[in-house]
Amino acid sequence: MPPVPSAPVSLDLTNECLWRGAHAFPLRPKTFAVLRFLAEHPGQLVSKAALLDTVWPETVVGDGVLMVCIRELRRVLEDDPKSPKFIETVHRRGYRLIGNITVTHQPRHAVPTGLSPQSITHGGTPAAVQMGQAVGRETELGQLHAWLHQALSGRRQIVFVTGEAGLGKTTLVEAFLEDPRGSTALWMGRGQCIEHYGAGEPYLPVLEAFGRLCQTPGGDDLVALLARRAPTWLVQMPWLLSTAELETVQRRVLGATRERMIREMAEAIEELTASQPLILVFEDLHWSDYSTLDLIATLARRQESARLLLLGTYRPADAAMDDHPLHRVQQELHMHTLCAELPLTFLTETAIASYLAVRLPGAQFPSELVRVVHQRSEGNPLFMVNMVTYWITQGWLVEGTEGWTLGAELAVLQASMPVSLRQILETRLDRLRPEEQRVLEVGSAVGIEFSAATVAAGLEDDVMQIDEQCAALVRRSQLLRPCGEQIWPDGTVAGAYGFAHALYQEVLYSRLTAARRVYLHRQIGMRLEAAYGTQTGNIATELARHFEQGRDVQRAVAYIQQAASTMLRRYANQEAIDALTKGLSLLSTLPETPERSQRELTLRLALGPALMAAKGYGAPEVERTYAQALTLCQQMGETPQLFPVLVGLQRFYVLRAELQTAQALCERLLTIAQQTHDVATPPDGARETGYLTGLSGRVCFRARAFGACPGPL
C-alpha cells in the first residue's frame, strides 16, 4: 500500500528522488530541480520567473512547462491544490512551499533507474512507465540527440516521429525535451494539430507555438523580430500588440501573398536561430492543415544555415486513410534527403519485463506472465499499461508487504482479459461514478482539450462544481490531464483539461447516442457564441463544427464563412476552398428560399477569388463558380453582387482568350456602372466608368486582332 500522507517526506539529492516514508519516488530532472529550489526557500513566495530562470537557464519555455512539474509534485505528494499541505499556489505570481520536506545528501537505498525521466502519477509510478512508453526507447532518444547536435552546428533538421496510436510518440518527445544534455540555451516551441477542426485552421500549430513563445520571458525580443521580419505572422496574433502597433503592422501587410508569408517565417527563423537554437514540435500532423505542411516543406528545402530542429509526430495509417497530403510531403522530402523519419515499433518481451519490474517492484510472478502480456498486447505500450491496470483493479495482481504477487491463476488473467484496448477502456469508464462518466462524455464532444465551463454548458450545471469534478478525475485517474485555465471574453474563468490520450476521447465520444451528440454540440456552440460575443471570429471554425454536428445548418454556414475569411487573410487558399465547398454542401440540405440563395451567392463570391489564387484564373472551377453565381443573381433579380460576379467571369474569359465573351461582359459592366453612378476607384485611380470604358476598348482591340470581333482595327 502507498504510504499515508503523514509519512515524513525527504528530498534525496544523491538519487534525485523524493522519499515518503519507506517509499521512493523517482522524479524527472526538471521536476526535481523545481522542488529543490522550493525546498531551499521554505515558506517564501518563489515567483514563476525565478523558477524558470533557475530550472531552465537561458531557455525560453512557457509557464505550462512549470505547471506540469508542479502537477507532478502534487501527485506524488498527494497534495490538493485547493487545500494544499505542501505546495501553495499564489495566483499569477508563483508558489510557496508550506509543508515540511527535509533535504538530505545521504541516500537511503537504491531507487529504480534505467528509465527515461517521466511524469509522476499517484501511487509513485512514473506516468510514462504506466503508459509503457518510456521503456525500450533509449536508442530513439539517442538518435534525437544526434539530430539536435547536427542542428546546433547550423544544419537544420526536419524529423518525423511516426507510429500508431499508443506507441508513445508524445512521451518520447517529452523525454527528449526534458533532457537536452547540456544544450540549455534553446527556444522550445510546441503546437498541436486538433482533430475535427484542426484541418480548417491554417498554421494552427505554428501560431500556437510562436504565440506561446512570445508570451514567455524574453518573448518581447521575439515580438520585435516578428515585427521586423515577419509582420504577416504578427498580425495573426493581435493580442501581442497595442492598438497603435496593430494598425501599423496591418498597413505593412497590405497586398501580402501566401508566398510572402511563408518566406517571412523562414527568414525570421533563420535570424532567430543565429543567436539561439530553436526546437519546434508539431504534434499529430495527420490532422494538420495544408499551409503548415507547406511551411515545413519550405523550411526543409532552404539552404541557408539555421540552428533548427523541427519534430513532427503523426500516425502513418491515419494520414494514408484520409489521403492526407502529409504522406506526399514526407515522401518528397525524404527522396531528396531533406528530412528523417524515426518510426516507433512495438515493445519486445525484454522491454515489457523491464516495465513490469518498475511498475510492480518486488514482484513474484511466473516468467510466463511476460509472454502473456506480450502476446495479448502485441507490444502496444498503451494497450499493455491499461491491461495491467485492469488486472490490478480486478484484484488479480495484488501488492503485499514483500511486493506484488498473483491474486489468481495465470490462466484466469489470460482467459478473462478483454480482447481489445477499447474494451479495457470501456471497463475502466464503467467503474467511474455516473456523474463522472457524464462529465467525460461531454468533454469528448468538445474535443481532446476542453474547458470545465464548456462541459458545464453541456450538462446545464454549475461551472465550479464541474471544475472540481474534473480536478478530482485528474487526481484519481489517468484519463485526464490539467491544461491550465481558460478565460473567455465574457469574463468566465475555468480550468482547462485534456484527455491523456486521443483514444480515450474517441471511446467516450462513441458512447454518446446520436440524439445526445446533436443536443450537446448545439448547447456547447450556443454557450461559446454567447461567451465570445463580437469575437466569435476567433473561434469560427470550432463554432462551425459544433453547429454542424448540432444540425443547425444556418449557424454552421455563417461561421464557415467567417472561418473562410480568416483563412483568406492568411493566404490559405486551399483551406478556404475546402471550407466554402463544405458550406455550399451544407446549404444544399436546406429548402430553396431567398435567404438560402443569398447565402449561397455570398459563399460563391468568396470561393471565386480563392479558386483563382489556388488554381489559376483560367481554371474550369472558376468559370463554374461564377456561372452558378450569375444564375443566382438572375433568379434573385437586381442584386449588388451582380457586378463582382461579372468581373470574375470577365477575368476568366480574358485569360482563356475568349475575347468576344469578355468584350460583352465589359460592356455590361460599363452599363451597370453608368446606371448606378458607381464612383469606386479602380487600380489606376480613374473612375469606374472610365476604367471600364478603357478596358472594354482594350479587350475589343485584342478580340479584333484575333478575329473574334467584326470591324476594322
Q: CA 567 to CA 288: how far, in whole Å?
A: 14
Cell numbers that stand for 531 in this block: 461567451
Q: Are residues 145 and 257 in the same domain?
A: yes
| CATH code for the domain of 10 | 1.10.10.10
Q: Are residues 100 and 156 in the same domain?
A: no
Identify the residue with better confidence: 474 or 513: 513
- Choose among 629, 627, 628, 611: nearest CA to 619: 611
Residue 558 has pLDDT above 90, yes or no: yes
Q: Which of 319-333, 445-459, 564-578, 607-621 has the lowest mean pLDDT?
A: 319-333
Identify the residue with better confidence: 160 or 669: 160
Range of the domain at 47: 1-111
Q: What is the pLDDT of residue 321?
A: 64
Show which of 343, 366, 392 is a domain's final residue. 343
Q: Are residues 149 and 282 in the same domain?
A: yes
Q: What is the pLDDT of residue 707?
A: 38
For residue range 509-534, what is the model confidence (pLDDT) as tens digits? 988 999 999 999 999 999 999 999 98
What average pLDDT does range 74-85 have in this prediction?
83
Residue 481 has pLDDT above 50, yes or no: yes
Show which of 61, 93, 111 is a domain's final residue. 111
Q: CA 107 to CA 121: how far, in whole Å?
A: 23
Cell numbers that stand for 360 in this block: 510492480
The answer to whether residue 706 is domain-embedded is: yes
Residue 547 has pLDDT above 90, yes or no: yes
- Give the CA distances from residue 158 to residues 168, 282, 339, 394, in Å, rounded to whole numbers and listed in that order: 19, 11, 5, 45
Q: CA 336 to CA 397: how far, in whole Å?
A: 51
The answer to whether residue 712 is domain-embedded is: yes
The answer to whether residue 56 is domain-embedded is: yes
Q: What is the pLDDT of residue 129?
A: 45
The answer to whether residue 580 is domain-embedded is: no
The answer to whether residue 477 is domain-embedded is: no
Q: Are residues 9 and 155 in the same domain?
A: no
Residue 691 has pLDDT above 80, yes or no: no
Q: Are residues 326 and 218 in the same domain?
A: yes
Cell numbers that stand for 245 in this block: 502597433
Instruction: Indicate the DSSP class of residue 687.
Output: -
CB neighbourhood size of 640 (10 A): 8
Residue 287 has pLDDT above 60, yes or no: yes
User: How do beta strands 340-343 and 403-406 pair?
Assistant: unpaired
Q: Specify whether the CB–CB gap between 529 and 521 falls below 8 A.
A: no
Beta-carbon-side half-sphere exposure of residue 385 (alpha carbons within 13 Å): 24
The answer to whether residue 246 is domain-embedded is: yes
Query: Which band of pLDDT confidence, cut at 50, 70 and 90, is reported for residue 171?
Result: confident
Query: Which band of pLDDT confidence, cut at 50, 70 and 90, is reported for residue 23?
Result: low
Instruction: Indicate the DSSP class of residue 708.
Output: S
The answer to whether residue 249 is domain-embedded is: yes
* Percentage with pLDDT > 70 across the chain: 84
Q: What is the pLDDT of residue 677?
A: 59
Q: Are residues 274 and 338 in the same domain?
A: yes
| CATH code for the domain of 217 | 3.40.50.300
Q: CA 173 to CA 668: how far, in whole Å?
A: 61
Q: Are residues 238 and 157 in the same domain?
A: yes
Q: Specify whether the CB–CB gap between 380 and 424 falls below 8 A.
A: no
Query: Which band of pLDDT confidence, cut at 50, 70 and 90, is reported for residue 322?
Result: low
For residue range 369-382, what is the model confidence (pLDDT) as tens digits? 888 888 777 788 88
End-to-end CA distance of the chain: 99
For residue range 449-461, what is the model confidence (pLDDT) as tens digits? 899 999 999 999 9
Q: Are residues 272 and 151 in the same domain?
A: yes
One-letter amino acid for residue 245 of the chain: E
Q: Which of 100-109, 277-286, 563-572 has the lowest mean pLDDT?
A: 100-109
The backbone torsions φ and ψ at residue 371, rounded to the nearest 5 degrees and listed phi first, read -65, -40
Q: Are residues 106 and 153 in the same domain?
A: no
Looking at the 3D structure of the chain, how many domains does it have? 3
Q: Specify whether the CB–CB gap between 709 and 659 falls below 8 A.
A: yes
CB neighbourhood size of 37 (10 A): 16
Computed over every residue of the chain, the mean pLDDT equals: 81
Q: What is the pLDDT of residue 161?
A: 95
Q: Are residues 60 and 163 in the same domain?
A: no
CB neighbourhood size of 41 (10 A): 13
Q: CA 343 to CA 153: how far, in whole Å?
A: 25
For residue range 598-654, what is the model confidence (pLDDT) as tens digits? 999 999 999 999 999 888 888 899 989 998 998 998 888 877 888 888 888 888 888
Q: What is the pLDDT of residue 477?
A: 66
Q: What is the pLDDT of residue 266?
A: 95
Show which of 343, 367, 396 is a domain's final residue. 343
Q: CA 328 to CA 339: how far, in whole Å?
A: 13
Q: Are residues 237 and 106 in the same domain?
A: no
- Choose among 566, 634, 553: nearest CA to 597: 634
The answer to whether residue 183 is domain-embedded is: yes
Q: What is the pLDDT of residue 6?
A: 56
Q: Specify whether the CB–CB gap between 333 and 339 falls below 8 A.
A: yes
Where is mean pLDDT largest: 320-329, 395-404, 463-472? 463-472
For residue range 205-236, what is the model confidence (pLDDT) as tens digits? 999 899 888 888 778 899 999 999 999 999 99
Q: What is the pLDDT of residue 700?
A: 47
Q: Are residues 70 and 213 in the same domain?
A: no
